[in-house]
C-alpha cells in the first residue's frame, strides 16, 4: 500500500492546506485511536506540541478525534518531542502524539506518533492507520466518549529525566553556555535544566510568539548562536531545532560541529568506559566517510541506514546499539531516550568537557571530514529520478566515484526536493559530479 499521509517522520505539510488541516488531524486521531484500542482498560493518549500558532488548532482537532473513539487525552502544552516519548511511557499511555514540523517554518506543522513503549511507530502501524483513515469511523456511544485534561508537572518530569542522563557528580559551574532554543518547544525546559546544573547561561531564541519558530535561529540558522558565542566568550553553543530532537554544537571559536563529530565523541567516551554497545554506532547514508574511517580505526563499525532517525532507531534496536544519529543533529542515546534528544546530547557533550577539562574544539576534532557536497534541487510535476537522462548522469557519476567515494541521491520525504550528495577525497571532482546531476534533474523537471 502506498503512503498518502505519512512520510519519513510522521505527517507534515503546510497548515490549512495539503495534509495539515483540522479535518485530517481529527481523522488521524480517530484512526490512530481506533488502532490502539486494545484490551479492556481505559485508554489514554498524551499530546504535546511545539510553539507554532497552528498548534492550538491541530491540538483541538486531535483531541476531538481521540475522544470521539473513546480515548482519554492528556495534554502537556509545549514540550520537546523526546519529552512526549518519555511521558507516553511514564503515564502508561497507549499512544503519544507530538504536534510539530521540527525545523520547518511556522507555516508548516506535523504529527508524530509514538507507541506505548515510547518509540516511533513502525511502517506497518502507520499503514494500518492510513487504511483506517479511509474507512468510516466507528464512534463510541455517549457514555464512552473520552475525557481531556492538561497536566502541569510535565516540564519538571522531563527536566529531571534529562539531568539524570549525566553523572550525579557532574556540575557545569565553570562553563559559559549559549543556548539557542529556536523559539521552539524547549524554550522553557532547556534553559531550566542547564541552569539547574550550574552553568552560566546565555539564552537566545526563547521568546516564541507563534510565528517565529526557527526564524533566523536554531539548528538550521546558526549565525545567531555563533555570533553570541564569540560576543560573550562562551565555552560552547548549543542550537536546538523547533521540537528539540536535534542538536548542532558551536565550539568556543564560533565554528560548527555537526552530528558526525558529536557521534564520534560520544561513542569514543562510552567505549573508553566500556559502555558502548553493538560494536559501533548507527548513522544514515548522509554521514561523512571520515566518520566511518575513524570508527574503523578504533575497531568499531558504522552501520548505515536510509535517511530518517526512525530508521536509525530501528537498526539500533535490532543490533543492540546504544548510540546512533544523523549528521543533521539527531542524536539517539538509547540508554537515556527512545528518540532523538538534543538536550540530552548537549548535556553529554558538556559532561565530556568537564571530565576531560578540554575545550569542545579539541573534543570534537576526532577525524578529518572527507570533502562532501550536498545540493537540493526543487522540482515540479513528474518525478525527475525516473527520467532517462537523469539515470544516465547518476550511472556516470557512480562509475567515476567507484572505489574512491560515495554518491547518495534521494527525494525528500517532506517537500518536492531531490537531494544530491557526493563525497570523496577530491573536492573539485565532487563539485563537478554534484553539479552535473543537479543540472540533469533541473532539465528533467
pLDDT digits (tens, 9 = 90+) for 115-130: 999 999 988 999 999 9
Model confidence pLDDT, tens digit, residues 263-293: 999 999 999 999 999 999 999 999 999 999 9
Residue 28 has pLDDT above 90, yes or no: yes
Confidence of residue 2 (pLDDT cuts 50, 70, 90): low
Q: Which residues have CB under 8 Å from 319's CB, separation 6+?
A: 278, 282, 303
**Does 122 qualify as catalytic in the annotation?**
no
Closest CA to 312 of 335, 337, 282: 282
How many other CB atoms sit within 10 Å of the CB of residue 153?
9
Q: What is the mean pLDDT of residues 24-45?
A: 95
φ, ψ for residue 161, nearest 5 deg: -65, -45
Q: Inform me whether the pLDDT recorded for 95 exceeds 80.
A: yes
Per the CB < 8 A criterion, the answer to whether 419 and 378 are in contact is: no
Catalytic position from the list 54, 68, 100, 102: 102
Distances (CA, A) of 157 to 30, 76, 80, 223: 28, 11, 12, 32
**Backbone angles phi and psi of 30, in degrees to 5:** -65, -45
Whether this model's pTM surpasses 0.85: yes
The domain 257-341 is classified under which CATH number: 3.40.50.720, 3.20.20.100, 3.40.640.10, 3.40.120.10?
3.40.120.10
Name the β-bridge partners of 303.
282
Q: Would you say 306 and 294 are in contact if contact means Cβ atoms under 8 Å apart?
A: no
For the chain, the distance separating the N- and C-terminal CA atoms, rounded to the nearest angstrom, is: 26
CATH code at 11-152: 3.40.120.10
Q: Which CATH number fits domain 158-255: 3.30.470.20, 3.40.120.10, 3.30.70.260, 3.40.1190.20?
A: 3.40.120.10
- Which CATH entry fits the domain spanning 372-444: 3.30.310.50, 3.50.50.60, 3.40.50.300, 3.40.50.970? 3.30.310.50
Give the pairing of strands 372-378 and 323-325: unpaired
From the DSSP assignment, how many helices (H) and strands (E) are in the chain? 14, 18
Contact 395/439 with Cβ under 8 angstroms? Answer: no
Is 204 strand, coil or helix? strand
Amino acid at each position: 500500500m502506498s503512503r498518502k499521509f505519512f512520510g519519513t517522520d510522521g505527517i507534515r505539510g503546510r497548515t490549512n492546506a495539503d495534509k495539515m488541516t483540522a479535518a485530517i488531524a481529527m481523522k488521524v486521531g480517530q484512526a490512530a485511536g481506533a488502532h490502539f484500542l486494545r484490551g479492556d482498560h481505559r485508554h489514554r493518549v498524551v499530546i504535546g506540541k511545539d510553539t507554532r500558532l497552528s498548534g492550538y488548532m491541530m491540538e483541538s482537532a486531535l483531541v476531538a478525534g481521540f475522544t470521539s473513539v473513546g480515548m482519554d487525552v492528556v495534554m502537556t502544552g509545549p514540550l520537546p518531542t523526546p519529552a512526549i516519548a518519555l511521558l507516553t511511557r511514564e503515564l502508561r499511555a497507549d499512544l503519544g502524539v507530538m504536534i510539530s514540523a521540527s525545523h520547518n517554518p511556522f507555516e508548516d506543522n506535523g504529527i508524530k506518533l509514538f507507541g506505548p513503549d515510547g518509540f516511533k511507530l513502525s511502517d506497518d502501524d502507520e499503514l494500518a492507520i492510513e487504511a483506517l483513515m479511509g474507512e468510516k469511523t466507528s464512534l463510541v456511544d455517549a457514555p464512552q466518549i473520552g475525557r481531556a485534561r492538561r497536566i502541569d508537572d510535565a516540564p519538571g518530569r522531563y527536566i529531571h529525566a534529562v539531568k539524570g542522563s549525566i553523572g550525579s557528580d557532574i556540575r557545569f559551574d565553570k562553563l559559559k553556555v549559549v543556548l539557542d532554543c529556536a523559539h521552539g518547544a524547549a524554550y522553557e525546559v532547556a534553559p531550566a535544566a542547564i541552569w539547574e546544573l550550574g552553568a552560566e547561561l546565555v539564552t537566545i531564541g526563547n521568546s516564541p510568539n507563534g510565528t517565529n519558530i526557527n526564524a533566523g535561529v536554531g539548528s538550521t540558522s546558526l549565525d545567531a548562536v555563533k555570533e553570541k558565542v564569540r560576543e560573550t566568550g562562551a565555552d560552547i553553543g548549543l542550537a536546538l531545532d523547533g521540537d528539540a530532537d536535534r542538536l548542532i554544537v558551536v565550539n568556543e571559536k564560533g565554528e560548527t560541529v555537526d552530528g558526525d563529530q558529536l557521534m564520534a565523541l560520544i561513542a569514543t567516551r562510552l567505549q573508553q568506559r566500556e559502555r558502548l554497545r553493538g560494536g559501533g554506532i548507527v548513522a544514515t547514508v548522509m554521514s561523512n566517510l571520515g566518520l566511518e574511517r575513524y570508527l574503523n580505526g578504533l575497531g568499531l563499525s558504522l552501520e548505515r541506514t536510509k535517511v530518517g532517525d526512525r530508521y536509525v532507531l530501528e537498526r539500533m534496536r535490532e543490533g543492540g546499539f546504544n548510540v546512533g544519529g544523523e549528521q543533521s543533529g539527531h542524536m539517539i542515546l538509547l540508554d537515556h531516550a527512545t528518540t532523538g534528544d538534543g538536550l540530552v546530547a548537549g548535556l553529554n557533550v558538556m559532561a565530556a568537557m568537564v571530565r576531560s577539562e578540554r575545550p569542545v574544539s579539541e573534543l570534537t576534532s576526532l577525524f578529518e571530514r572527507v570533502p562532501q557536497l550536498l545540493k537540493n534541487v526543487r522540482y515540479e510535476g513528474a518525478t525527475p529520478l525516473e527520467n532517462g537522462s537523469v539515470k544516465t548522469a547518476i550511472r556516470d557519476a557512480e562509475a567515476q566515484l567507484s572505489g574512491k567515494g560515495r554518491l547518495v541521491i534521494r527525494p525528500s520525504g517532506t517537500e518536492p526536493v531531490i537531494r544530491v550528495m557526493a563525497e570523496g577525497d577530491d573536492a573539485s571532482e565532487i563539485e563537478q559530479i554534484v553539479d552535473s546531476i543537479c543540472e540533469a534533474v533541473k532539465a528533467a523537471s
